[in-house]
Structure 1
């Protein structure tokens, strides 16, 4: 039987001002891939990526709500935290071990979108 696999997921992140959003996402290592804007009076739609993870940033009101929450897996959350601090990024929650098996931290972008970065904890044997 032939099957189709889902290969990845690219979330839309609603932003009010691309001019303010780009510096934040750049400060956490995302690079601009491409942008679309029909005319200077229209909202901007932008693709950014880091390490193969892509986000669509959009000023379009129909592309989501401000204040959404994303969960991103990273290879080393403590290293990522140090990177953010060295880049002057304000950290909402420093890395901490969670009961559900990850070590996580969180950031908030200029539009109140929360980005949670996590690394799985080693499995405990009881």
Structure 2
């Protein structure tokens, strides 16, 4: 029997406006475009953006993802990320930090399409 090895899942988030998606994911969150795909220039975009270990697929295709989805990501340095984002001129979002002794420190961002990105730094155990 062959060994089964799971890799990190990559969420697919629905987007409706590429310039707004780029403003949020590239300009604000600091991701880079890894690749883009369209079957033809006038057809919907499917793209991968990433920052370090954070990898997301963004899709304009009907049926790919549901607006209002939630992506939960564990990381270290959530305070540094919060400070970095707070220093940026992005008038559509001013996120705070939420602390919970059981789950840790969380920064929640909502993209222009209603998708939530929850960045959580678990407590030291």
TM norm. shorter chain > 0.5: yes
Structure 1: gaps of 5 or more residues: none
CA RMSD in angstroms, aligned pairs only: 1.5
How far does residue 110 in structure 1 lie from its aligned partner after superposition? Answer: 0.5
Structure 2: gaps of 5 or more residues: none
Query: Could you tell me whether the CA contact under 8 Å between 1:91 and 1:108 is conserved in 2?
Result: no
Secondary structure of residue in 2 paired with 1:62: coil
Match of 2:94 in 1: 91
2:10 is the counterpart of 1:7: no
Match of 1:119 in 2: 121
Poorly superposed stretches of 4+, deviation over 2 Å:
none
Match of 1:22 in 2: 22
Q: Deviations 1:83-121 (Å, cap 9, x if unpaired)?
A: 1111234234x1121243211011111101111111011
Query: How do residues 98-109 of structure 1 correspond to structure 2 at under 5 angstroms?
Result: 98-109=100-111
Secondary structure of residue in 1 paired with 2:63: helix
Secondary structure of residue in 2 paired with 1:10: coil
Match of 1:78 in 2: 79
- Count of residues in Structure 1 that have an aligned counterpart in Structure 2: 122
Match of 1:63 in 2: 64
Query: Could you tell me whether the CA contact under 8 Å between 1:32 and 1:46 is conserved in 2?
Result: yes
2:40 is the counterpart of 1:39: yes
